[in-house]
Amino acid sequence: MIINPLFIAGTAYLVAMNLYTLVLMRIDKKRAVKKKRRIPEARFFATALIGGSIGAIFGMYAFRHKTKHLRFIIGLPIILLMQICALLALHLLLR
């Protein structure tokens, strides 16, 4: 079985974005505890939109960070759902 190089590149990109977003969540949680300068919420949503939604959701619950913010509780899963729908549509178009 031959694996498409575009699939490999896309997978590597998504893994990198999710790890990056997960690390951002961890850094912001540490800064929150230490009362230091925080990472803007817009950055979390931006990284989630460009492929880091799973990392953001995982980081939110793993680090107990932003779990009381309704925009994160609802917004991040909606972004993930939209990304899944987009990937399914792309898959159907390229079949």
Predicted confidence (pLDDT) per residue in 64-83, tens digit? 999 999 999 999 999 999 99
- The answer to whether residue 1 scores a pLDDT higher than 80 is no
pLDDT score, position 35: 96
Q: What is the pLDDT of residues 44-66, one digit of tens each?
A: 999 999 999 999 999 999 999 99
Give the type of residue at 10.
G
pTM for the full predicted model: 0.91
What does the block give as tokens for 39?
Answer: 């990472």
Give the type of residue at 79.
I
Q: What are the two backbone dihedrals, phi and then psi, of residue 77, each rounded to the nearest 5 degrees?
A: -65, -35
pLDDT score, position 2: 82
- The answer to whether residue 27 scores a pLDDT higher than 90 is yes
